[in-house]
Structure 1
Amino acid sequence: MKKGLLKKLFATTLVGAMAISMVACGGEDAGEKDALTKIKEKGELTVGMSVDYAPYEFFVMENGKKKMVGMDLEILKEVAKDIGVDFKVEEMEFKGICTAVQAGQVDIGLSGLSPDEKRRELVDFSDIYFEAEQGILINKKDVSKIKKLEDLKGLKVGAQLGSIQADIANTIPDVKTKFLEEVPVLIQDLLAGNLDAVIVELPVADVQSVIHPELARAEEKVQDEAGGGSAIAVPKDQKALLDQINKTIKRLIDEEKIDSFYKDAVELSKSEVVGE
């Protein structure tokens, strides 16, 4: 009788201890604040950007001072306003933005990012806020020679490191590629004759051809199998933050503000762009 009673008491105690442990673990998970709550509590949204990509984000000189401008910056202002916080831009290399979001170094990434499969392994993405196709930027003297992607076979082609455009460049037979962090440096190489072409998004190609009249866009657009469009990078499994950002994007699209931001950024790019 005593042995049976002891066994029952031990079993009851063990089950009770396990239950308490499970509740404690569950309490920790339940008590973990989501990303949106943390952003609201600190009163600031930190954003990873590579500020060298007109018309998305770039610097201009205004009254002798360097000023950050661009379509993405205007979208960021609206996202922060809707959350009810200030924002802070953390400048970084383009290829490291999604990694920084994943590691919690910044709250979101906003830098003309296309949501490809490799990036989706690191972060979640908002809805597409801007659709853009790919293009080939060349010297005007080559417009009759370089009209489409196939014409770049065996030539020297540049693209931003870690970008969709770099992936496209790698599909060209016998191509000699040059991948760099900063697009303006690639543009200078193109102007100097060190590159035959630079693959960029069409808006970027159009802006660069305005800044540098000696450049032009190749006749045919580049077919991008990965799909075009730009989205905002968000930490994985942060539904509240993602929903909030998507709400802002929908509002801006419905109000036709993103088109307005784009047009304004193109006009600003006609001024003195720092780094070009």
Structure 2
Amino acid sequence: MAYLALPKTALVAAVALGLGSASAVMAQTPTVNVVTDPSFVPFEMMDADTGEMIGFDMDIINEVAERAGFDVNLTTMEFNGIIPAVQTGNQEIAIAGVTITEERAEIVDFSDPYYDSGLRIIVRADNDSVETIDDLAGMNIATKIGSTSYDYLTEKFGDDAEITPYPGTSDMYMALLGRNVDAAFYDAPNVAYFSQTRGEGRTKVVGPLYEGQQYGIVFHKGSDWVEPTNEALEAMRDDGTYAEIYEKWFGEAPNEE
């Protein structure tokens, strides 16, 4: 078989064109810096076997990323550093069970709500003196640094209770089990998860749901990813993907009206 030799200039041009096309294809999917809290189970937690972050939020952001058209470069940090990291632009997106509040919305942008939550009380199983939030007056209450539960407690009690903020939820629950605090007050799904797993038989959740809240995905102000994310979340609800992820982590279908 005879081969047709290309002029050197034509060959170089062809190679350059091929490389340029490959680069263009590779550049089609941008990588976005996403930050989360490594200890908010079952929303985000480290898989001891794989060393990867798993959880409800992780499944949500990965599905959103696929639909919105970006790859996730995931970073973890303590919760109280997440909003500042996004606000300053060090991180583009955050997903960590972040409650949408007016104060936070002044410095970052939020997606549409993707989870309905609230705050609950958890005490040791042998504590029969606490039934409502008012019963916590004069007690030592654990919560998490930078959380809306901390804000709620300080506004509710002021100096009428000893409020102890912890950097992580595991520290908070260990303080409760170790009798260093009388109760813990935090996001309802996390409280329920602990009570049903590591705290089973040793703790109980009491009282009603306080301060109904909604979680949102966080973006720096003016981010171009807000609208594609909202579109992805809506599509996930419409085609049942959201319900599948929800049931995977919470054992029941979401209550959506």
- Show CA shifts across 1:109-132 (max 9, x none): 110001112211210111000001
User: Does residue 246 in structure 1 map to residue 246 in structure 2?
Assistant: no
User: Does residue 60 in structure 1 map to residue 60 in structure 2?
Assistant: no
Larger CA Rg, structure 1 vs 2: 1
- Show CA shifts across 1:208-253 (max 9, x none): 011111111013222x1xx501001111123x42110101111222
Structure 1 counterpart of 2:161, one-letter code: V
- Contact preservation (8 Å) 1:130, 1:258: no
Instruction: Give the deviation of 1:41 after TM superposition.
Output: 6.0
Match of 1:192 in 2: 178
Match of 2:34 in 1: 47
More strand by share: 2
TM-score normalised according to structure 2 size: 0.80
1:258 to 242, 245, 251: 242
Q: Which structure 1 residue ranges, 5 or more long, are not aligned?
A: 1-39, 268-276
- Contact preservation (8 Å) 1:54, 1:265: no
1:80 to 38, 45, 65: 65
Q: How does 1:143-162 map to 2 (within 5 A)?
A: 144-162=128-146
- Contact preservation (8 Å) 1:158, 1:177: yes
Structure 1 counterpart of 2:51, one-letter code: K
Distance 2:165 2:226 in 1: 31
Distance 1:262 1:140 in 2: 28
Distance 1:51 1:103 in 2: 21
Match of 1:29 in 2: none
**Structure 1 stretches of 4+ moved >4 Å:** none
1:210 to 173, 196, 204: 196
Q: How does 1:21-32 map to 2 (within 5 A)?
A: none
Structure 2 counterpart of 1:184, one-letter code: S
Name the CA shift for 1:258/1:151 in 2 (closer, same or farther; >3 Å): farther
Structure 1 counterpart of 2:228, one-letter code: Q
Deviates more, 1:245-254 or 1:156-165: 245-254
Task: Describe the SS at the equivalent of 1:55.
Answer: coil
TM-score normalised according to structure 1 size: 0.75
Instruction: Give the deviation of 1:138 after TM superposition.
Output: 1.1
- Show CA shifts across 1:158-212 (max 9, x none): 1111111111111125110111221111011011011111111211111001111
Structure 1 counterpart of 2:209, one-letter code: K
Aligned length: 221
- Contact preservation (8 Å) 1:134, 1:202: yes
Task: Describe the SS at the equivalent of 1:219.
Answer: strand
Identical-residue share of aligned pairs (%) = 24
Task: Describe the SS at the equivalent of 1:228.
Answer: strand
Match of 2:255 in 1: none
Instruction: Give the deviation of 1:254 after TM superposition.
Output: 2.3
Name the CA shift for 1:202/1:152 in 2 (closer, same or farther; >3 Å): same
Instruction: Give the deviation of 1:99 after TM superposition.
Output: 1.2
Match of 1:111 in 2: 96
User: Does residue 220 in structure 1 map to residue 208 in structure 2?
Assistant: yes
Distance 1:45 1:266 in 2: 28
Distance 2:120 2:204 in 1: 10
Instruction: Give the deviation of 1:266 after TM superposition.
Output: 4.2
More helix by share: 1
- Contact preservation (8 Å) 2:29, 2:69: no
Name the CA shift for 1:266/1:153 in 2 (closer, same or farther; >3 Å): same
Q: Which structure 2 residue ranges, 5 or more long, are not aligned?
A: 1-26, 252-257
Distance 1:99 1:175 in 2: 28
Instruction: Give the deviation of 1:48 after TM superposition.
Output: 1.2
- Contact preservation (8 Å) 1:45, 1:80: no
